[in-house]
Homo-oligomer: A and B are copies of this chain.
Amino acid sequence: MTTVPSPNKEIEAVLVANQAFYSAHEQRDLVAMEAVWEQGPSCVCIHPGWPILRGWDAILNSWTRIFAGPGRNQFILTNISGSVRGTTAWVTLDENMMDQANTGTIAATNMFVRTDSGWRLVLHHGSPVAQRR
């Protein structure tokens, strides 16, 4: 018998995976970051202002460099919304940067696929929201 999770349970699981991504980022924890991603050739990461990174090797390299850099990234996450369609989910949210070097809001898209071992990140795209003047 196959148990089909209810939509609410599905969304909850996706949002837990989404939170794990930000926890890994805040804690600069590369092992935790690795566990968040699907780690395949279809993975895509577009950091704010960066060109497109495709495939797990390029993405892992970027996180290694980011975590080795100065400063910390701390976020207050707001305006979170997720949708599930089949075995794919997309979450959009505002990353409100709280550290001294970076302030402002990043609009982010995180796309997850459901695997046998849970939801895994396949795409992250962040872009600065222009300040209203």
Contacts and interface: CB of A to CB of B under 8 A. Distances in A.
Contacts of A126: 127
Query: Which of A52, A86, A128 has the most chain B CB within a 10 Å cutoff?
Result: A52
A86 B83 contact: no
A83 B113 CA distance: 12
B50 A109 contact: no
Interface stretch (A18-26, A28-36, A63-71, A88-96): A88-96
Given A54-B92, A113-B85, A127 B127 contact: yes
B42 A83 contact: yes
A130 B50 CA distance: 6
Q: How many chain copies? A: 2
Contacts of A81: 44, 54
A111 interface: yes
A5 interface: no
A46 B107 CA distance: 8
A125 interface: yes
Contacts of A86: 86-88
A122 interface: yes
A111 B129 contact: no
Contacts of A50: 107, 129-130
